Structure 1
Amino acid sequence: MKFGETLKSSLIKDYAYYYINYDELKYAVKKGLENNNGRWNNQLEEQFVDTLQQELDKVYSFFKLKHKEILRRVKEIESLVEKTVQASKNVTDIQDYEYFEQDFQDLEEELSDIIADVHDLNTFTRLNYIGFQKILKKHDKLTKMILKPIFQARLNANPFFKDNLDGLIVKLSKNYDLVRTKGNPVKGDSSAGGKMQNFVRQTTKYWVHPDNITELKLIILKHLPVLVFNSNKEFETEDSAISSIYFDDKKMDLYYGRLLKTEGAEAIRIRWYGGMSTETCFIERKTHREDWTGEKSVKARFPIKESKVNDFLKGSFTAKQLFEKARKDGKKSKEEIDSLERLAQEVQYRVLKDKMRPVMRTFYNRTAFQLPGDARVRISLDTELSMIREDNFDGIDRTKGNWRRMDIGVNFPFNQLPDEDIERFPYAVLEVKLQTQMGQEPPQWVREMISSHLVEAVPKFSKFIHGCSTLLPEMVSLVPFWQPQMDIDIRKPKKDATYGIISKHRLLEDGSNGGQIDEEELIGSSTNYGSVQINESHNRIEDVSNNTKNEGLLAPLIDLFQKYTKPDNSFNKVPDGTIFETAFTAPKGKKIAVPVRVEPKVYFATERTFLSWLSISLIFGATAHTLLNYGDVISLLTAGCFYLTAILTILYSSGVYVFRVISIRNKRAVRYDDQIGPRLVCGALAFSVFVSFLFRYLK
């Protein structure tokens, strides 16, 4: 659909006058060229720039007015919520309780209306910004005069499109949580819940297009509050920043281990929260465990002062010294300190032994949604995701002997960096972490959300893996399955017009429900899109080479013979309707990594199959030896056929056994079923018997 048509179909009637007049601007360019014999002069350029500036002033003025209105409404409702909550605490009479019930209901409706207005304003700004970019591009193309980089400065001076709504969303979340719980929000340690036992933790990852980020946040806050670690201070953008430095060696062993999901594969990183001035960092080790081990993949970490990181990595500051003060303070148990010290020793030894160094930095702003003290449902949304090189593999010492480069901080989009040093990821990353008892279904609203048009499932997505595969192409030969399809637009049409954020006046315009407004339709639909299911029709791959073709990005990439190996089934938990329905080709000189799960019993099954072949060979040999006892020429010929069949069976089965063992050991995605061997054996046996009967008959 052309942008002009998209604009007309998406605009809000109440805001219609304040949108960019895209069609008029486009007509002005074409008309000017037609009236001037296809040439564009300075006078036409000045007129066009003046008109464009008027459109920008109109959009920016309306944005400021609407933004101030929303801030005023938020401030007013904050005061009303606080007064209502305080007054409700003294309720003793049933009639008074019912009165406050109605008050809370009214406040919830008002908050829902504000949430809808925030969504509408966000949609308004995005459409207008795209409109300015589109018309500037069209102008430069048709007139051959370059205006886009010049007018971009004016856009930056009127930054209606740069407004950060995170602070506003935090306030709305806090008030909505108070209203939803009637002034009794869940309290507890924001980090608690991770130690709960007898729970199975399930993590799935999704990509979110920038057009859908704000709407998704507003939908989630209706069900879960924004997790704020320090509620005593005003929210700042820097509070949501998370940076991690990943380590690896020159062979990229940690990259390949995490990519192929090998048993015991580790990731070592240093993480800090907030800006570069943060004093405390965390050294973390993630260890992957295969399901057949009976263990779960774990992430363990320990704190360290930023000033001690360099000495720790060099080995001059030991793990014992690191926890010496903690032992004296006695705030933690001896067992806990011993565990942390053992972890620090193992990480330090691995870094020194394998000569690891900083390789990749990831940066993003995270909005986390979770009930304090309850980690059964935790949702995080990472935006402005960037991967930045920290290595010296090309001879450039980016860290200059330090454990991290100091020429950047948290100032996204890091314009000071050269393009070859940074990968700005085009989407936000949504992580849904569920801790549910075995057999228990996830909440209905979560199932609806992950099945909606707002997200695209990309299981096993890794920021570290993506950064290395895109920024260090000369260092890696295997790439993740999602990389060849990064140019595909993940936006999808709505499955249901009532799902998402819909303002009241928009519903009235469309005539939905005959003019009746259903509160549930305004923020989150009650429509059930169905649970996440495995899409077996996409589990196909033709080859694992430079021309790898796959029907469906999210497939496990191959149907392996189940007696020997099987793909990681969790790799394929994909909702129906994924947009990745096209064949793709691996980058030149690369191969697509195929995660294959190999359990110990696979090796034994391979040996048992080989022994079965040997048993058949012995039967053929015994048959041949028996025929020799008859002593005539016909028996001799027939025995020779059986001996030859036995020898060929032994050679063939030995070759197949060696091939399977090597393939399983290397986790190669090849065909493990045998379609030729049984047919050859049956054919050889039939031929031997036929020879015997033929000569007996001729005799």
Structure 2
Amino acid sequence: MRFGKSLTKAQYGPWKQHYLDYNKLKSLLREDDPDKPWVDEDEQRFVDELVNVQLEKVNSFQTATYKSLIERTSQCESKLEKLVGKDEASKDKESELSSSLKELDSIREEINRLERFSRINYTGALKAAKKHDRRRGANYKVRPLLQVRLASMPFTSEDYSPLLYRLSAMYAFIRQQLDGNQERAMSNGETHQRMIKYTSYKFFVHPENLLELKTSILRHLPVLVYTPTSTKAVDAVQKDPTITSLYFDNKNFSLYTGKVEKGSGAASLRLRWYGQLRDRPELALEKKTLAEGDDSEEIRFNIKAKYVLPFLKGEYKMEKQTAKLRQKHGANSEEVQNLEKTVDEIQDFVKTDNLEPILRASYTRTAFQIPGDNKVRISLDTNMAFIREDCLDVDRPVRDPDQWHRTDIDDAGMEYPYSGIRKGEISKFPYALLEIKVREGSSRRHSEWIDDIMSSHLVCEAPRFSKFVHGVASLFEDHINTLPFWMSLLETDIRKDPEQAFEEEQEKKNKRAEDELAIGSFIGSFGKSPLNGGGSQMSKKQSIGQNGKFPASKMLSPVQKPKESEDGSEAQNLGVSSRLKQFFPAFSSSKYAQSKRNKVQLPPGVKKPEYWIKDVGTVKVEPKVWLANQRTFIKWCHIAILLSTLSVSLYNSAGLHSNVARGLAVVYTIIAIFAGAWGYGLYISRSRMIRRRSGEDLDNILGPTIVCLGLSVALCLNFGFKVS
């Protein structure tokens, strides 16, 4: 289906006027009149319409709609806060809870519409730019400019996680109130608490930052290499393994579309192996299904290369492996039943969706993990390349249709950079991919250094990145009508100045604090409601914040009873609920905590110290600091001596009748005295500041400015008097 028809089909009626006008952009390209010369005015008209009109229209609508959703969410929170404490049997309360539930459903549906709105318009802009460069690209290229512009627009990178978390908290409260079944919620929470879950974070890494990033990680985790059979510590000569993932899809790319749109139930299938296929490694066939939220369910089994093609054709059902399990564990054992069920499910999946190999992703993986400790797992994938494996072109297939993989690559043992592959069949990823997995319940000691890495200038956040999605988007752009948002990052320089990265992280933290305050004030206001004190736990993984950088922590017990405040009144909302503490263990948004942060009351007889403890006692300063101050003083002395020498020589050579020369000599002498006095005063002042470890600025441009102006005026007067 052409993209114009896909865009029309995907439009939501009430928002129709806010979508990208793709037909207008096509008309500006004058596809019906290709012989007419394309001049600068035509180019300016097209670029202005695309960048300044269409994209601004889309971005403005997305921003306004998102703000409206936030306001509606806040209003719903305020409405629910008023219901706390009312009689549970009240009909009015039940009616208001039902209406709030409908409002939450409406907000949730609009969030989904807004995300689809952003994605289809993002794809449309890139499609229009590609069409332009293909037809008018001999002298004009607009796609690089568009990629930079898209990367800076909020609608391509908006994170809905904070808003979704607020909705989740309200959903839990409403359903508990309507169902009145707290015991079931508690039991569910305990069950999920025993399950091992990970929070995953993905980042792009520029090649220039790879070594610094590796050394930063090595301070905390050793290097591991994952082999097909086991995980062993890497030795001095062992190389990082090359991993190949062969992904499946059909001619309509339905698996890709489901993956991009993040719909619940979307599935993907891949065949994975380590090293070269000619070395006969063990292969793993894996099916991953997206569950609600960011969770996923994965089933897999190992298979030999000679059985892959018969299995895909439905001629082989892993009978040999099943027979071995029956002999080892028994005919009706759980292992046998699980394998048979997995084989049938994957084989039905291949047959129902007409799946075939579409592309392979090859990369070198460096893994970091403490042996026997899976709290933190880090992988760094480099030399990443995506290669076509399809048979979409019947006349010129990339892969032999009678084979399940490209024999030209595997038989020859090709390695990166795959120079023997034709252009257009390979896409090399320009960055490395860093993935950090933190297990729920990990200590704060782990999360501190991880936070430092994730907020540093060494990485660029790439949430929801998928090798399968990126490979299809980069190699089959003409066959798909939806593109992932991170494609615009590939045309920009992701390197950041350390100071700039720090400022951006501070802004994100401030935004997260605002989101947390909104969530905390809502949850904390429930008091002893089931949401706050009923013992219910979150049953699934959440990723919160603008950049998702909140390592999960251990499930906490219900909120404890508030203590008495100093004035005798109860400090309401002392602790945030266990749900909020799960993600923000070091922050409380209660009124008590806010008052303590705003004003610190010291005990009687204790006064605020005048000096920090670090400033008391022997001052230890590095010698280079003192030497730098001394060098500056010597430079000022050097200037003073040069000027005084000039003034004395000028005065002695002037004679009794040259009043102008003698006057200028006096001026130079005054400047020399000022330079010497300024240098000495600056030396004493800075020495005092170093001893006190003062935070004041050490620079002072007043003295150099006076000396330069004085010399300039004296030289100008000297020249003027000489000419006259």
TM normalised by structure 2 equals 0.41
Query: Larger RCO: Structure 1 or Structure 2 (Cα < 8 Å, ≥ 6 residues apart)?
Result: 2
TM normalised by structure 1 equals 0.42
